[in-house]
Amino acid sequence: MRTSPDCLPCFLRQIAHAARLATADPDRQKLILERAAALLPAFDLSRSPPENSVALYRLVAELADCPDPFANLKQSSNAAMHALRPRLLQSIRAAADPLLAAMKFAAAGNIIDYGSQQDFDLEQTLAACLARDFAIDDATKLSAAIDRLGPADTVLYLGDNCGELVMDGILIEMLAGRGLRVVLALKEYPIINDATVVDAQKLGLDRFCAVISNGTGCPGTPLASCSTLFQREFRRASLIISKGQGNFETLSEAAGPLFFLLAVKCSVVGQHLTGYAERQQPLPACGEMALVRGRFFP
């Protein structure tokens, strides 16, 4: 999807947040914001928002001399979610449809991404998410697609943020338990709170799947810029589960056996998703969960 003019103010708001994490010096924060604002007019709005955002986060890293401003947040969200893992597993096993429950927790984890900025009752939010329906619900289609897979098939799982990576891991473990080959792709370089290969290794996810990077430091999956290795896995995958907004924004027009599993976090994506899924009802409000089969699913 393209960058909307409405993304420009939002970029700057996010950069203000990143700048505060990256440096405590108000003058430096101000400089970052000013320089970020000066970059906006040059943005190519035909590119996706995550692709355009890369230059802004690079600016924060350089001007604050801080290559990974979100490092602490990422670590604490991984730890908090990992501590909840036994109880998540318990809920999933007790559910009428454990695979659906795991999908919902994975989407719920994407909502909890918000938590990094606010006080948040993790358990309560997760319980509420499990009780909620997907605003766009292709869960039956995804379950059927999984059921059709055999041992020769590969599932490519595109991860998003730290924290929710724990829930991604549970879903991946269930897929691996069916004898499928699963490849988890994360980011090559730190960007916002996106998970990298090291995060997955620390959480032990490499016990159930191959963990690779997509070769970029973009908060999404800009196919043309991704590594050859990643592109090969993308082409050979029988099923691709794409987590989060950034991956949807960069892959909504990509050909492939894609399902998008995400929490809608802004009205621009909500609107695009409504049209994308040819949905008549009003677009999902921010915080709603969506599971959408890709328009170019073969």
Contact 120, 112 (CB under 8 A): yes
Binding interface with its own copies (CB under 8 A): 5-6, 8-10, 12-13, 15-16, 19, 26, 29-30, 33-35, 37-38, 40-41, 45
Give me 41's structure tokens.
């007019």
Residue among 187, 242, 197 at smallest CA distance from 218: 187
Tell me the closest approach of the beta carbon of residue 290 to its own copies, in angstroms: 23
Tell me the closest approach of the beta carbon of residue 251 to its own copies, in angstroms: 24
Closest CB to its own copies among residues 31, 79: 31
Contacts of range 89-93, beta carbons closer than 8 Å, 24 or more positions apart: 89/170, 91/126, 91/130, 92/170
Residue 226: φ, ψ to 5°: -75, 165
Distance between CA 8 and CA 20 in Å, rounded?
Answer: 19
> 155: which strand partners?
182, 239
Closest CB to its own copies among residues 19, 264: 19
Tell me the closest approach of the beta carbon of residue 10 to its own copies, in angstroms: 8
Closest CB to its own copies among residues 52, 77: 52
Tell me the closest approach of the beta carbon of residue 34 to its own copies, in angstroms: 4
Closest CB to its own copies among residues 5, 204: 5
Closest CB to its own copies among residues 9, 275: 9
Residue among 53, 159, 62 at smallest CA distance from 109: 159
Largest pairwise CA distance in the chain: 57
Tell me the closest approach of the beta carbon of residue 44 to its own copies, in angstroms: 11
Return the sign of the alpha-carbon dihedral for residues 237, 200, 242, 36.
negative
Tell me the closest approach of the beta carbon of residue 15 to its own copies, in angstroms: 8
Closest CB to its own copies among residues 30, 236: 30
Tell me the closest approach of the beta carbon of residue 203 to its own copies, in angstroms: 33
Tell me the closest approach of the beta carbon of residue 268 to its own copies, in angstroms: 11
Closest CB to its own copies among residues 30, 235: 30
Interhelix angle 71-94/165-177, nearest 10 degrees: 40
Distance between CA 155 and CA 50 in Å, rounded?
Answer: 24
Return the sign of the alpha-carbon dihedral for residues 201, 240, 110, 15.
positive
3-state SS class at 94: helix
Closest CB to its own copies among residues 23, 221: 23
Give me 247's structure tokens.
């991956």
